[in-house]
Structure 1
Amino acid sequence: MEVFHFGAGSIGRGFIGKILSENSYNVTFIDVNEDIISQLNKDNEYTVETVGTNNKTEVVKNVCGILSGDLEGIKKKVPETDLITTAVGANILEIIAPTVAEIIKTRKSSGITRYINIIACENKLEASTFLKSKVEQYLNDDEKNYMETYAGFVNSAVDRLIPPRKVEGEVVTYTIVEDFNEWIADETLIKGDLDLKGMIKKKDLTPYIERKLFTVNTGHIITAHMGVYMGYETIDQAVQDEKIRKIVIGAMEESGAVLIKRYGFDKDEHEKYIQKILKRFENKYLGDSTVRVGREPLRKLSIRERLIRPLLGTIEYGLPNSNLLTGISYALKYNIDSDKESVELQEMLRTKGVEETLKEVTGNSIPDELMTIIKTNYEKL
């Protein structure tokens, strides 16, 4: 069995690629990184080190790589390939869409009538549906009809903390991961049969996507932004700070109250879930950078993302939100010269002020009284 996996970075290798290999797939990684692709083709395997309470080292086999620009090389493998996955980052989905479209075109012109499933494993709501909308732009009507019949774009929720670390003395494909992972897929969007050990199928994905977004992503981003502001280099260092920890827990409890109200999650079970997330943040062996986790603040302040979406939930149900508001204030303080979005955000704040910037970035979704609180918090920092 063959699979194309777009993205040979740490998440691709340490999470999705590993699961696919363990399910007897031959994994072809597609990426722009020549060093990684070369190493994959040289070794046809790579090492994954799991760190945390259950430390272990495993070798992932049956892998190779193709550079993203090698369209002919990709097309040669199309006839044997019935699964595509991605871990490229939400912003890159639009960039890989033309290549996915070429794969669809090649299948059609080759007369292939087997189903193919395409799963975008990204921190984005309905990422596969988004990818489908971009792929359609490169297809004619006949090709769109073919895709509609034979290709399933399967939305999924993924969760594993994997810092992009280069390990001294090891090859570039050596990967460090935490000892937790969760991959949930929307089984209603799967075409044909797709059963993978390590992937959970659910008929309604929304509660699990929001649980991850509102808990892991919300807590992670607030830890990162507060950590950067207070001078901490890694997430595990930042979350040990009492001030940061109090705000992070408070924010996850506020967003959790929305989930309990909206989806009927058990309160005690969700509290255990929050405590599990905190333990993951505390994992010192990951050494995950606060600057890395905090990156792309404009995207992460958008209306469907990890700060504003749970805040809007607290407004909808009339629930407390003071810690989420504090987290948003620190997001506005994320000031990193190497981050394009950070530079743009700081320029917007300088020229337009807090209120106008937030209105523009969040789609004017925050009520005036909460906007005032955010502005006051921001000005006190």
Structure 2
Amino acid sequence: MSITVIGAGKTGRGFIGRLLAESEKKILFIDKDAALVGAMNAKKQYRIAFFGGKRPDFTISDYAAVTWDQVEKIEDELILVSVCGPNLPDVGAMLKSRLDPQKHYYIITAENSSKPAKVLRETIGMENVSVSESTVFCTTIESDGLNISSENYPYLQCDADLLEGYMPDVKAIRPVGEFGNFLTRKLFTYNAASCVIAYLGWLRGYTDYGEAANDPEILTLLDRSYAATNKALCKEFGYEEKDQAEFAALSKIKFTDRTIADTVARNAREPQRKLGAAERVIGPLLLLHKYGKDTSVLEMTAAAMLLYDNEGEDKWRAIKAEKSAAEILTEIGGVPADHPCFARIMGYYNDFAKK
């Protein structure tokens, strides 16, 4: 039995396709792009190259590709959906008419959009379908022809509760219980680290994200923040220290990879959102404070966010024109003026502003 992948774009064939092929699974790709489907069937294979040559190229050939009009019924019990969020309702409608009501299906979305499983589940509206969702960490870039350049990320973590006890027969697909906590873990590990690099990198005059991530001083601060965050997350959610350390290490590998083209501005955009009380800097900062861990790096990062300025950040500039940094920290960041972290953040802010 094969596994169906809906969406043969860079994530579908470059990340999901690779994970399935590494488990020696035959893949049925379904895509609305007839030209892409035709090219995949004509070429009969495509290649994944890994950023920085971290591992040998990987060739995928055990697949078939079809468009929706070539599909009467889907036989595979496991379906992975890798399409942009706005396309999920259309995919749901296509699936609804092609799923056997006498068979149980398990669907996992592989798209970092808002509540994708809920959107797809409601569109399909069938009792015999369990819809879970995953978080995609792997960066993929379309290369020549069908080939893909990719980060060597090894897993697809998905919501175990929504799979209702089903365990996919794919070693790289990892169902995770209490997925909401996992998303917090991702926010406080990956997204927080990204902010440390972006905003402290901006302070140091970097525009290239990879260069900022490899600055020796920023790396030292990043490691310090990881160490504190790892301990706090393990205490809060009961993660194993080794597992959380690996999770953080994978994020560091991603961020410090100079072959992934990225900018400081892209990672620092919309500070008014990222500075929110439950978001990626203040959220972990308050968690670290709760457990008595080192909050200094995230305090520096919050201070740098308050100073941040860049062309195109009109909403942020409007907020800064109306409110003081202290007011923003309290009203947007949710840090009360009498909180111990407040004074330290404002201290860093004043120090940075003098430079």
Q: TM-score, normalised by structure 1?
A: 0.72
2:194 and 2:267 in contact (8 A); partners too: yes
Paired position in structure 1 for 2:154:
181
Q: CA deviation at 1:85?
A: 3.3
Task: State how far apart, in whole Å, the 2-side matches of 1:356 and 1:38 are.
Answer: 57
State whether structure 2 residue 123 is matched by structure 1 residue 134. no
Structure 1: gaps spanning 5 or more residues: 66-72
Number of corresponding residues: 344
Structure 2: gaps spanning 5 or more residues: none
Note the aligned Cα RMSD (angstroms). Answer: 3.8
1:45 and 1:60 in contact (8 A); partners too: yes
Paired position in structure 1 for 2:132:
154
Paired position in structure 2 for 1:79:
73
Q: CA deviation at 1:199?
A: 1.3
Task: State how far apart, in whole Å, the 2-side matches of 1:153 and 1:240 are.
Answer: 40
Task: State how far apart, in whole Å, the 2-side matches of 1:35 and 1:235 are.
Answer: 35
Task: State how far apart, in whole Å, the 2-side matches of 1:240 and 1:97 are.
Answer: 38
State whether structure 2 residue 108 is matched by structure 1 residue 119. yes
Paired position in structure 1 for 2:28:
26
**Are residues 18 and 292 of structure 1, via their aligned partners in 2, closer, same or farther at CA, if it must alter by over 3 Å?**
farther
Paired position in structure 2 for 1:70:
none
Q: CA deviation at 1:295?
A: 4.4
Deviation string, structure 1 residues 235-283 (Cα, Å, up to 9, x no partner): 4321221332233222222322211211344557755664564344333
**Are residues 336 and 2 of structure 1, via their aligned partners in 2, closer, same or farther at CA, if it must alter by over 3 Å?**
farther
Q: CA deviation at 1:317?
A: 3.2
Task: State how far apart, in whole Å, the 2-side matches of 1:39 and 1:309 are.
Answer: 46
Q: CA deviation at 1:325?
A: 2.1
Task: State how far apart, in whole Å, the 1-side matches of 2:236 and 2:131 are.
Answer: 26
**Are residues 239 and 268 of structure 1, via their aligned partners in 2, closer, same or farther at CA, if it must alter by over 3 Å?**
same
**Are residues 100 and 245 of structure 1, via their aligned partners in 2, closer, same or farther at CA, if it must alter by over 3 Å?**
same
Task: State how far apart, in whole Å, the 2-side matches of 1:87 and 1:354 are.
Answer: 41
1:214 and 1:252 in contact (8 A); partners too: no
1:163 and 1:287 in contact (8 A); partners too: no
**Are residues 307 and 76 of structure 1, via their aligned partners in 2, closer, same or farther at CA, if it must alter by over 3 Å?**
farther
State whether structure 2 residue 52 is matched by structure 1 residue 57. no
2:158 and 2:176 in contact (8 A); partners too: yes
Paired position in structure 2 for 1:3:
4
State whether structure 2 residue 97 is matched by structure 1 residue 106. yes
Task: State how far apart, in whole Å, the 2-side matches of 1:377 and 1:82 are.
Answer: 55
Task: State how far apart, in whole Å, the 1-side matches of 2:36 and 2:268 are.
Answer: 25
Deviation string, structure 1 residues 5-60 (Cα, Å, up to 9, x no partner): 34723x444322322355212123468xx997786576454321023474311223
Kindly indicate which of the two structures has a greater share of residues assigned to helix: 1
State whether structure 2 residue 46 is matched by structure 1 residue 46. yes
Q: CA deviation at 1:297?
A: 4.3
Q: Which moved more, 1:238-247 or 1:22-31?
A: 22-31
Task: State how far apart, in whole Å, the 2-side matches of 1:265 and 1:181 are.
Answer: 19
**Are residues 359 and 131 of structure 1, via their aligned partners in 2, closer, same or farther at CA, if it must alter by over 3 Å?**
farther
**Are residues 318 and 47 of structure 1, via their aligned partners in 2, closer, same or farther at CA, if it must alter by over 3 Å?**
same
Larger-Rg structure: 2
State whether structure 2 residue 243 is matched by structure 1 residue 249. no
Task: State how far apart, in whole Å, the 1-side matches of 2:244 and 2:189 are.
Answer: 10
Task: State how far apart, in whole Å, the 1-side matches of 2:132 and 2:256 are.
Answer: 32
Q: CA deviation at 1:318?
A: 4.3
**Are residues 29 and 53 of structure 1, via their aligned partners in 2, closer, same or farther at CA, if it must alter by over 3 Å?**
same
Whichever residue aligns with residue 134 of structure 2, its letter is: S
**Percent identity over paired residues:** 22
5 Å-filtered alignment, 1:295-334, equals 295=269, 297-334=271-308
Whichever residue aligns with residue 182 of structure 1, its letter is: Y
**Are residues 118 and 367 of structure 1, via their aligned partners in 2, closer, same or farther at CA, if it must alter by over 3 Å?**
farther
**Are residues 356 and 313 of structure 1, via their aligned partners in 2, closer, same or farther at CA, if it must alter by over 3 Å?**
same
1:51 and 1:286 in contact (8 A); partners too: yes
